[in-house]
Structure 1
Amino acid sequence: MELRLLPLPKLVDMGTGTYPLPETGEIVIQTDNAADQLFTAKRLQTALQAQANLSYDISAGPFDAPIILTIDHTIAPAQGYQLDIDADGVMVVGSDVAGLFYGVVTLIQLLETEGTTLPQLTITDSPDFPNRGLMLDISRDKVPTMETLYDLIDMLASWKINQFQLYTEHTFAYRNHKKVWENASPITAEEILLLDAYCKERFIDLVPNQNSFGHMHRWFEKGPEYLALAESEHDTMSPWGSVLPPFSLSPAVPGSIALVREMFDELLPNFTSQYFNVGCDETFDLGVDRTKAWCDTKGKGRVYLDFLLQIYSLVSAQGRTMQFWGDIINQYPELVPEIPKDTIALEWGYEADHDYPGKSKLFSESGIPFYVCPGTSSWTTITGRTDNCMKNISNAVENGLKYGAIGVLNTDWGDRGHWQTLPVSYLGYAYGAALSWAYEQNADIDIAAALDAFAFRDQAGVMGKLAYDLGNAYQAPGALVHNGNILFWLLQRTLDDLQESQRLANDDSRQIINDKDAFTTELKNTLAYIERVMAPLEDAQMQRPDGDLIQREFAQGARMLQHAARHTMLQLGTGDYSAGELKSQLDDIVREYKDVWLSRNRPGGLDDSVAYLDPAYSVYKA
């Protein structure tokens, strides 16, 4: 018998019989502090009622019962558990309170897939990594509602994720900086307190996340008092050839570290986590202006590290462990050993072939604790990059294990408008959760089937494959771009601009888009591919309250991809639609886009997100 579980456990010893759960019974907690396990027991009680219409009471004591929950520190490593189902009943034994919770969520998944007649078995399980996280970008326009966050946390907890971060640039409601966030529908301190408590019950650590060096442009644009803290008050060029507005705090301005201190003092008391992600990535403009003399004299790496160490001192004074993105310091390997050993470097990279072996080895050999940080590959795509996503995550986790990473932080960004809807990212969330729990057992998991069972809850078995295949539409045009889908960029730039873009992944891609006939053929093939993938959408039978919304979200994504193909053929002079017809189609897409956005997210950022379609509209005005 092949079990459907997410993640798949380390070891399963199948018995020969079954155990039919009695119609009535008890869940008995046999621990010294039964009250500490009440939430876990109630989660199981709720599942029994919802999945099997069984009403079980909860009690504590040394009593026999159909389901017994207990703790034994000797049965598995930290967070591990053993689940025994035999002819006499069900016993879940955790190595600690978290392990007991994880054993229960595995039992709940068995209830969901097997019903009330459970297979006799013994599962012995524990995680590969002690820290298994997800980071969600709430600064590139899209700030989820609290209901959306609660639902997401419940799903992540059921997949044994134990760390959650909300990537923040300007979307926390700092009391003295209203002008920075007033149009962004920010997360408030009270909401963080509520979210922290909600996470804690589910054995998820809500880690504060505030970028504190680069990515400060949303502050600088809000007034001269902020711009005075920038490394440069003028635009510069990014490494990929686009204009970069004033972007990074300047270490040369004393007010920079003062602002960082003020942010930390207000933000951190709302979190119980011992960790704090201070960001500090992509400081591209460092050395351009105010620190130019310093960088010329000491070197850019040293200037970066000196400011990072000032931030480290602030974090340490708060009694927290600093996490920081490792992309800048790993360019200066000679400086890596100087990083304090009580920090955590976050090694990120989002292409399938990112150098996780080399970068992980650098931090490992330098004695710096580190996480590997792949991504969902959903941003700048509309509907994802399935193959890249899975290879990127597998690459990260495999090398994280090899070089001793202490965690995996899967990332879900929202660059340039956050056009992807949340369910597009479920595939990356699920695969990241599975591999970070048990890499060997889950590397070849049937992710489409797992999504149907534990994400979309689709009894028809449609949505998992549809999400998987639609996520591979990025390959259909035959032209690849770095870190995205060319169809996304064809809506955000004119074809002429894209033909000169450094984002094109290779010469073959450049050749295709410069050949009008060849590219037209590929775009027509793309339209046909999307049509085939989407054909079974209405057959889905999702057993979740937002099932209809999920169908709309995937339909919206497909329409945007199709529109990008037709929009491009108009520019090639090979399309079947006029500029007026395409403008009318895009107007309809935008109306649906706004409605779908507001079903899960706050209004702040919506207008900015839609404005990224201005280049597409400009083609229709020509």
Structure 2
Amino acid sequence: MKPPRLLLAPYPRHVRNTGGALPLARVREIVAPPPESAEMRRIATLTREALGPSVARSAIRFDGASRRPRLTARPSTADAVCLLVLDPKASRSDQGYRLDIAPRGIVLTAPSAAGLFYGIQTLSQLVRLNHRRLPGISIRDEPDFPTRGVMLDISRDKVPTMQTLYHIVDWLASLKINQLQLYTEHTFAYRRHRTVWKDASPMTPAEIRDIDKYCRDRFIELVPNQNCFGHMERWLRHARYRPLAEVDGPWRDPWGRVRETPSTLNPRDPRSFRLVSALLDELLPNFTSRRVNVGCDETFELGQGRSRTAVSRRGRVAVYLDFVRKIHRHVSRLGRRMQMWADIVQSDACHISRIPDDVIALEWGYEADHDFESRCNNLSARGLEYYVCPGTSSWCSFGGRTRNAMANLQRAARAGLEHSATGYLITDWGDGGHRQYWSASVVPITYGAAVAWNERANRGLDAGRAASTFGFDDPSGLLGRLWYELGNVYLLTGVSMKNRTQLYKVIETDLDPLIELHDDAPQPRGAEEAIAVLHELARLSQESCSVRAGNCEAQVALIELQATIKVMLHAAERWLFSCSGDLEAAARRRALHCLGDGMNFIMQTHETLWRIRNRPGGMRDSLARYRRIADEYLEFLKRGGVAGRPAR
């Protein structure tokens, strides 16, 4: 009978059960390869920590001549050894490793310290699953993608505390992630630009240097990420920078909406480049990475304002690339290699040939049906190095979109492998005031990290159970399963939309148009679906009461889960209210009072949870989105609960 598959994340490329078992208490010595460098001391210490408290007093010795223990399944009562070996032939990949466990000891072999580190992460998970007695096992493992990264949005209101960042880095390292980017628009404390960041609780240069070292010690490269062209709203809203904007007035986005605040720099104004180059000059010395992501995505209003003449004469992408190439030359002079989002050049693929040869293109798309295949082929045919960049689907959803995220993450991995991508970058955005909580991203990041390491071995990973065990420290699997299932509630609405859910849209849309949508319909649209959502959320809420959160992380994740259920319940109740035009006036007033009380509770909870993981800056802006809804309920009550008409 075949033994059950071990719960490992990422699951290794090759796993073979060899029989026997090793009681951890018998491991009396950890032998590491010389010389006794600071890096190898860290590796040896991490190994001892991974083996748990029963090995806490084991000696660490540096000796290249130690004999390997005989790794047979035959039981042994002798002291066991954990031997770390550096061998350039241990794996085809510099990050690969071999892990062998038998009654006489453990041998971990790798071509590099990074490979040893990744082997230790697998060993640590085995210890967590088996506690004091490890099974006899032989593992051969190496990654599909040499670069496996996560990008966290720290500009859409939420800037994590340093303690939160340390926790995230430790967890990402355990998933064998080796690149981290902190997406920045205005949340770095630039010396001469206090006006932009003064209310944002930004990252300081000293904090960046500190987290950079923390990442390096865990074999993670912290890559600077500063948007340098589009998404500059937080700069251009201020009078000092407004003259650098592409537009000076209302403009129309690709979805037909009229917007008031400019977001894109005028690439024809020399002052725009001077600003960008000065920002990079100040930011980059705080990072040891020789790469930098300069963004340059979604330059929506380019050609609608000050560059209109140039764009009409030469084309939008050509004008765009002129500015991008200026940034590239400056980045190259600073000794860095540039990364940039690929959406604009992919809109007119004939311009891909104008991207400088050493740029790393970032092909992003967040829907299950995103055409990674043809878009990766465009970049591969040009000979560019590039990453595939799927997303967690957590933003603009409250609870996530699990099915979409899993399909998007897996498709990106398959297409990237087929078309020779060198990296896989999981993006976690914070659009709409970053009102989803960190725990909503844990399941998709767990799955994305796994398929980035090895797509074939991990495509069927039980991501909810793995996230529960290794992300929330809940070995029962219940907490991860509940987050997984909460992320699929959006499917019950019967409405499919890109980058958001129906419940999020209901929260964001004013009640007047929501009600008017249903007033003239013979049967209110959405009432049946809203009721189905309410039933499912009630079930999840009841099940969450069974979670036994044993430590701080599990407790916070549980509170975040229950708070998210409350927000989604509110959205469903608001949706149902908008469908209930035939309610009597007294019943409508009672419903509005309940909705108002519910929103006040949501705001209080949101503020409390915000302070647990994040700095105070940005919280007021995020809360303002909920405050608008609370005020709307009060206004409706003044009007007697009637849409669009004054109270009698």
Please, what TM-score do these two structures have when normalized by structure 1? 0.95
Listed one character per residue, the Cα deviations across residues 517-564 of structure 1 (whole Å, up to 9, x for unaligned) are 341111011000111123221222344323222111111100000001
Letter in 1 for 2:622: S
**Bigger mean CA deviation after superposition, 364-373 or 609-618:** 609-618
- Of 55, 58, 61, 2:60 maps to 58
Listed one character per residue, the Cα deviations across residues 424-449 of structure 1 (whole Å, up to 9, x for unaligned) are 10011101100000000001111122
What residue ranges of structure 2 are gaps of 5+ in the alignment?
A: 68-79, 637-648
- Of 241, 249, 254, 1:226 maps to 241
**Bigger mean CA deviation after superposition, 35-44 or 85-94:** 35-44
Are residues 1:528 and 2:530 paired? no
Letter in 1 for 2:608: D
- Of 467, 473, 479, 1:463 maps to 479
Shift of 1:242: 2.8
Sequence identity (%)? 41
Equivalent positions of 1:433-582 (< 5 A) are 433-495=449-511, 497=513, 516-573=523-580, 577-582=590-595
Which position in structure 2 is the counterpart of 1:35? Answer: 38
Cα separation, partners in 2 of 1:180 and 1:79, compared to 1, 3 Å? same
Alpha-carbon distance in 2 for matches of 1:34, 1:168: 35
Listed one character per residue, the Cα deviations across residues 335-354 of structure 1 (whole Å, up to 9, x for unaligned) are 10121111100000101000
Shift of 1:459: 2.9
Secondary structure at the counterpart of residue 532 of structure 1: helix
Q: Is the Cα contact below 8 Å between 2:51 and 2:123 reproduced in 1?
A: no
Letter in 1 for 2:108: V
- Of 192, 210, 228, 2:226 maps to 210
**Bigger mean CA deviation after superposition, 572-581 or 429-438:** 572-581
Cα separation, partners in 2 of 1:94 and 1:33, compared to 1, 3 Å? farther
Shift of 1:515: 7.0
Alpha-carbon distance in 2 for matches of 1:422, 1:442: 23
Equivalent positions of 1:583-602 (< 5 A) are 583-602=596-615
Shift of 1:55: 2.8
Shift of 1:499: 9.2
Which position in structure 2 is the counterpart of 1:189? Answer: 205
Letter in 1 for 2:598: Q
Which position in structure 1 is the counterpart of 2:404? Answer: 388
Cα separation, partners in 2 of 1:219 and 1:99, compared to 1, 3 Å? same
Which position in structure 1 is the counterpart of 2:622? Answer: 609
Which position in structure 2 is the counterpart of 1:413? Answer: 429
What residue ranges of structure 1 are gaps of 5+ in the alignment?
A: 501-509
Letter in 1 for 2:156: R
Alpha-carbon distance in 1 for matches of 2:520, 2:201: 39
Are residues 1:87 and 2:90 paired? no
Secondary structure at the counterpart of residue 218 of structure 1: helix
Shift of 1:243: 3.2
Which position in structure 1 is the counterpart of 2:156? Answer: 140
Cα separation, partners in 2 of 1:514 and 1:495, compared to 1, 3 Å? farther
Cα separation, partners in 2 of 1:238 and 1:497, compared to 1, 3 Å? farther
Shift of 1:619: 4.0
Alpha-carbon distance in 2 for matches of 1:207, 1:303: 27
Are residues 1:44 and 2:44 paired? no
Which position in structure 2 is the counterpart of 1:621? Answer: 635
Cα separation, partners in 2 of 1:257 and 1:113, compared to 1, 3 Å? same
Q: Is the Cα contact below 8 Å between 1:487 and 1:564 reproduced in 2?
A: yes
Secondary structure at the counterpart of residue 106 of structure 1: helix
Are residues 1:432 and 2:468 paired? no
Secondary structure at the counterpart of residue 451 of structure 1: helix
Cα separation, partners in 2 of 1:308 and 1:547, compared to 1, 3 Å? same
Q: Is the Cα contact below 8 Å between 2:599 and 2:626 reproduced in 1?
A: no
Secondary structure at the counterpart of residue 335 of structure 2: coil
Q: Is the Cα contact below 8 Å between 2:514 and 2:578 reproduced in 1?
A: no
Which position in structure 1 is the counterpart of 2:87? Answer: 72
Q: Is the Cα contact below 8 Å between 2:230 and 2:299 reproduced in 1?
A: yes
Q: Is the Cα contact below 8 Å between 1:31 and 1:71 reproduced in 2?
A: no
Secondary structure at the counterpart of residue 539 of structure 1: coil
**Bigger mean CA deviation after superposition, 19-28 or 228-237:** 19-28
Alpha-carbon distance in 2 for matches of 1:313, 1:250: 18
Letter in 2 for 1:538: C
Shift of 1:460: 2.6
Secondary structure at the counterpart of residue 185 of structure 1: coil
Cα separation, partners in 2 of 1:593 and 1:103, compared to 1, 3 Å? same
Listed one character per residue, the Cα deviations across residues 152-198 of structure 1 (whole Å, up to 9, x for unaligned) are 00000000000000000000000000000000000110000000000
Alpha-carbon distance in 2 for matches of 1:336, 1:461: 46
Letter in 1 for 2:243: A
Which position in structure 2 is the counterpart of 1:4? Answer: 7
Letter in 1 for 2:594: E
Cα separation, partners in 2 of 1:37 and 1:521, compared to 1, 3 Å? same
Secondary structure at the counterpart of residue 334 of structure 1: helix
- Of 281, 291, 298, 2:307 maps to 291
Shift of 1:87: 2.8
Which position in structure 2 is the counterpart of 1:317? Answer: 333
Higher-Rg structure is 2
Equivalent positions of 1:318-337 (< 5 A) are 318-337=334-353
**Bigger mean CA deviation after superposition, 470-479 or 425-434:** 470-479
Which position in structure 2 is the counterpart of 1:14? Answer: 17
Q: Is the Cα contact below 8 Å between 1:6 and 1:434 reproduced in 2?
A: yes
Are residues 1:242 and 2:274 paired? no
Cα separation, partners in 2 of 1:515 and 1:367, compared to 1, 3 Å? farther
Letter in 1 for 2:163: E
Shift of 1:372: 0.4
Secondary structure at the counterpart of residue 231 of structure 1: coil
Shift of 1:355: 1.0
Q: Is the Cα contact below 8 Å between 2:178 and 2:219 reproduced in 1?
A: yes
Listed one character per residue, the Cα deviations across residues 396-437 of structure 1 (whole Å, up to 9, x for unaligned) are 111000001010000000001101100110011101100000
Secondary structure at the counterpart of residue 424 of structure 2: strand
Q: Is the Cα contact below 8 Å between 1:184 and 1:604 reproduced in 2?
A: yes
